[in-house]
Structure 1
Amino acid sequence: MNETIQAGAAPDYPQLFGHPRPLWMLFMTEFWERFAFYSVSWALTLYIVAQFYHGNAAGQAWASAIFGAYTALIYGTGIFGGWVADKLIGYQRTILLGAVVMAAGLFALALPSRTMLLFGLALVIVGDGLFKPNISSMVGQLYARDDDRRDRGFTLFYMGINAGALLAPLLTGWMAAHFTHTPMQQNYRLVFLTAGVGMVFSLLWFWFGRRQLKDVGRPAPEQSSRVRVLWVALGALVGVPLVYLLMAKVGATGLQWILGLLFVVVAVALLAEAMRHDRVQVHRVLAMLIIFAFNVLFWMFYYQLGTSFNFLAENLVNRRMFGGWMFPVGWFQSVSPLAIIVLAPPLTLLWGWLGKRHREPSIPRKFGLGLIFNAVGFAILVFALSRLLGANGLIPFWPLVMCYVMQTLGELCLSPIGLSMVTKLAPPKLVGVAMGGWFMSLAVGGNLSGLVASRISGTHGMTAASALSGFAFSFWLLAGAGVVLLLISPLVNRLMHGVK
């Protein structure tokens, strides 16, 4: 890592709208990568049930397990991507290599067989593991460590993520339904091809824009050999069949043990590095790990959006709009990013207004609020399934929409703040590994989300009764965790030693 960054400084960049100009280049690079990712996310489980189970709801459990494993491994491989960037070839080269591998996987998904489905997902997972943690780390490196614009910069970057997430289901959902004038279930492969094109855009955007970054993200002198890039590329190719076997043979339960072990390894590495510094750094890493544990619970239920929420929307929600038009299932997943784009600016202003009055909630309190808002979303679904279920076996349209909005409020309380928190609390030499640890907590939550969704669907598919039971469990666990975190937040704040 560049010595000036370790010292807490940052290059003197030209400014655009009050932030370093390279932020906006990273914004658009992430926009197209998220467009690709969320195109796959909304379609994956629906494609599996339609393509390999001919629409039979019995396929929901396997589809949910695959989605959970895919989501988990997307984030779990981030720890390796962070290590590659920190120790081997630098951030910029790691991002470029990841983009190439991910694009190849997205195009492979369009080939209609289970083998190619899992092989394509394995390529996407390995590529995104190289890409995702490192572009987030680079946002933090654009600012000096004590720059109070850092949190706002991450929030703006997060809006780029969600602009891509908003466009993906709307555009690819429409294309799947209408582009070739055949039924949607025959055109999910078009979604994957479009996602591949989006990833190529991301690659090109970063390739041509990376000069703006100056020395940030470039390999250190001892990392400059291009032979290192070749070895990393070969390592990525070896990793693809390993990831394939994890999804195809190990299964979600076995994967959970592996992810748990990796999480422990990350924690030990961060604590060992912190102990080389002083007691304050050790305390900060402990605070970060506590937050990571609660983060697992948030994403365990948030990622129902790709599984149980999809099946709820398809089978138990009245989607008939004015004039008999049917609201597409995939479009529900544009509700959250739209809400983020709408709510992120006023929420950022609210935090700033409270901060000037020394009333802004601390990082752990924001995480506690995030868990509570997520719980409220499930409470709305529980109310709808217990009180609003019609004679046709459907609930109204609005409860699922409101659930997404409440989850979005929760996400805004913790996710952009979490990215910034890692860059503040991590040992300076292991920022990439710590960012990988953040995504590892998402990985554990993502895999657990697939297990929960599989349990809700059971062997015959989701019913109103199974959804009610599963969502009630989700509410109580989230609400309880949120209350606990709010109660222990003074302790966590003391461990952070003044980091805001």
Structure 2
Amino acid sequence: MSGAATPGQQVVIPEFKQIMGHPSPLWMLFMTEFWERFAFYGIRWALVLYIVTQFYGGSSVGEADANLTYGSYLALVYAGAVFGGYVADKVIGYQRSILIGAVFMAAGLFAITIPDPNIFKLGLATIIVGNGLFKPNISTMVGKLYSINDTRRDSGFTIFYMGINAGAFLSPILTPILAQNFFGTPEMPAYKVVFFASGIGMLISLVWFAIGRKTLQGIGAPEGAAQNPMRMVMVVIGGLCVIPVMYGLLKAGAGNLQIVLSILFVLLAIMLMIEGIRGGKVVRDKTIAMLIIFFFNILFWMFFEQAGSSFTFLADKIVNRNLGSFVFPTGWFQSVNSVAIIVCAPIIAWIWVVLGRRDANPSIPRKFGLGIIFNALAFGLLIYALSALVGANGKIPFWTLFAVYWIQSVGELCLSPIGLSMVTKLAPTRLVGLGMGGWFLSTGIGNNLSGIFASYVSGKEGMSVASALSGYTFGFWSLMAGGVILLLLAPVIQKLMHGVK
């Protein structure tokens, strides 16, 4: 099978062995991403709680700063993908970018085990640099396993997305057990054990890919001048130089970071549009469609990514977690989304395939619109719970937050894996890695805004029923308006996509 061609060159996809109807390297990439997500989500549930406990002595006044730090960290993790995509496209190739990124991430995860605020943020900065080299490029390589018109493409990305969520499910279950029962207590968890376990997971991901990349048969390997090993040395040195910059941005605060991210997004959009215009009307229109969807992606993640920030404090303080004699750990809520994805992903993938056979598969912008509306419905349930279901103990029923994660997960499946696939279809051929970086940058902007929003939800004195109700009401109406607008714009955007489905 042949894929998309760059000018003067036809990209030929090897005839891979097929496993369960998909190229065999998909499953190697699946497990590489599984362990990387194990590492990433291992620290996700603990980060804001650790900041409040370690640096604010457990005082609720630290919630706002913890939310802002979390949002800024997550934003930079995704924004770093812009540069990682470019490095893979133009400097050292995808495989080498993934390997170097994994080394940086592991180093950063081990660094944050040291309970010093400056070393903590320096460790986060190192994770950011590593993730930027790793995350966009492994997703891009999934797309390179399929020709541009292969009908299995969306389902392949959905399967890959299950690997992401399998690791994300296991980590918040295992790491709290280690932190609370083996090395600490439920009242005083040993959070640095969580970070250390995540570092081990990242090392496994590194070794797995280093061994398994031979199955790719050259897909993502460096070509031409990119084969020069000195380029790897240059990238490593460059990464080390970027770490202090990321540290400075973390210290600068979410408001200043938002300005930087917005400037980056404008510059990236200009670069993509210049390449799109060079490619002619069709490439230009596809690039415009992709950039419009990036904007709505920002809206989705601004509210979806409350899971690691305000939802954590909601679960800890306002949700009744007593299930008989068992108290549901706060960290375990981070696994609910992953369980929902694992359960629902094959169902959603099957629905898209069936609808595709009947020529009734919703267009990409309509799927995005549905994803945003499902996100809105989750906030609608929270509004109901916080206004009508608050008990005498000042808490809402356990099932409400549990259901919120499931509803959001359906929305995520309508949007996120489809977005990864969309970029590989719509981005200018020579800048697919940069296009994937743009996808993650838009996600990063949404994540930074999520931290700002979460700090508003918590208020100056910590989260209360009143502050949560006010914030989540705003979230509901913002998402619902955005989802409806996108559905109305869908025919126009689809026309710009020139037949891409």
TM over 0.5: yes
Q: Which residue of 2 aligns with 1:402?
A: 403
Contact (CA 8 Å) 2:157, 2:421: kept in 1 or not?
A: yes
Secondary structure at 1:488 match in 2: helix
- Unmatched runs of 5 consecutive residues or more in structure 1: none
Q: Which residue of 2 aligns with 1:256?
A: 258
Q: Is residue 159 of structure 2 the alignment partner of residue 156 of structure 1?
A: yes
Q: Distance in 2 between matches of 1:11 and 1:494?
A: 32
Q: Distance in 2 between matches of 1:156 and 1:274?
A: 30
Q: CA deviation at 1:354?
A: 1.3
Secondary structure at 1:436 match in 2: helix
Deviation track 1:382-416 (CA, whole Å, cap 9, x = no partner) reads 10000001111101001101111110000000100
Q: Which residue of 1 aligns with 2:358?
A: 357
Residues 13 and 279 from structure 1, CA distance in 2 versus in 1: closer, same or farther, beyond 3 angstroms? same
Greater mean deviation of Cα atoms: 301-310 or 174-183: 174-183
Q: Distance in 1 between matches of 2:392 and 2:6?
A: 67
User: What does residue range 99-498 of structure 1 map to in structure 2 within 5 Å?
Assistant: 99-183=102-186, 185-248=188-251, 250-323=252-325, 325-498=326-499
Q: CA deviation at 1:70?
A: 0.5
Q: Distance in 1 between matches of 2:33 and 2:27?
A: 10
Q: Distance in 2 between matches of 1:93 and 1:180?
A: 36
> Which residue of 57, 70, 80 maps to 1:67?
70
Secondary structure at 1:77 match in 2: helix
Deviation track 1:317-349 (CA, whole Å, cap 9, x = no partner) reads 1000122x2100010111111001001111111
User: What does residue range 2-17 of structure 1 map to in structure 2 within 5 Å?
Assistant: 7=10, 9-17=12-20
Q: Which residue of 2 aligns with 1:94?
A: 97
Q: CA deviation at 1:306?
A: 0.6
Contact (CA 8 Å) 1:65, 1:451: kept in 2 or not?
A: yes
Q: CA deviation at 1:53?
A: 1.1
Q: CA deviation at 1:2?
A: 9.1
Paired amino acid for 1:463: S
Q: Distance in 2 between matches of 1:9 and 1:441?
A: 31
Q: Is residue 29 of structure 2 the alignment partner of residue 50 of structure 1?
A: no
Paired amino acid for 1:402: A
Q: CA deviation at 1:454?
A: 0.7
Q: CA deviation at 1:180?
A: 2.2
Q: Distance in 1 between matches of 2:185 and 2:44?
A: 22
Q: Distance in 2 between matches of 1:326 and 1:125?
A: 34
Paired amino acid for 1:425: L
Q: Distance in 2 between matches of 1:147 and 1:192?
A: 40
Contact (CA 8 Å) 1:109, 1:120: kept in 2 or not?
A: yes
Q: Which runs of 4+ in 1 moved over 4 A?
A: 1-6
Q: CA deviation at 1:184?
A: 5.3
Contact (CA 8 Å) 1:5, 1:141: kept in 2 or not?
A: no
Secondary structure at 1:455 match in 2: helix
Secondary structure at 1:305 match in 2: coil
- Unmatched runs of 5 consecutive residues or more in structure 2: none
Percent of aligned positions with the same letter in both sequences?
A: 56
Contact (CA 8 Å) 1:32, 1:164: kept in 2 or not?
A: yes
Q: Distance in 1 between matches of 2:339 and 2:387?
A: 28
Deviation track 1:455-493 (CA, whole Å, cap 9, x = no partner) reads 111211011000000000000000000000001100000
Contact (CA 8 Å) 2:5, 2:11: kept in 1 or not?
A: no
Contact (CA 8 Å) 1:2, 1:220: kept in 2 or not?
A: no
Q: Distance in 1 between matches of 2:331 and 2:371?
A: 24
Paired amino acid for 2:449: L
Secondary structure at 1:304 match in 2: coil
Paired amino acid for 1:412: L
User: What does residue range 73-88 of structure 1 map to in structure 2 within 5 Å?
Assistant: 73-88=76-91
Paired amino acid for 2:68: A
Q: CA deviation at 1:6?
A: 6.3
User: Taking structure 2 as the reference length, what is the TM-score of the superposition?
Assistant: 0.98
Secondary structure at 2:307 match in 1: helix
Q: Distance in 1 between matches of 2:408 and 2:227?
A: 43
Residues 107 and 480 from structure 1, CA distance in 2 versus in 1: closer, same or farther, beyond 3 angstroms? same
Contact (CA 8 Å) 1:94, 1:130: kept in 2 or not?
A: yes
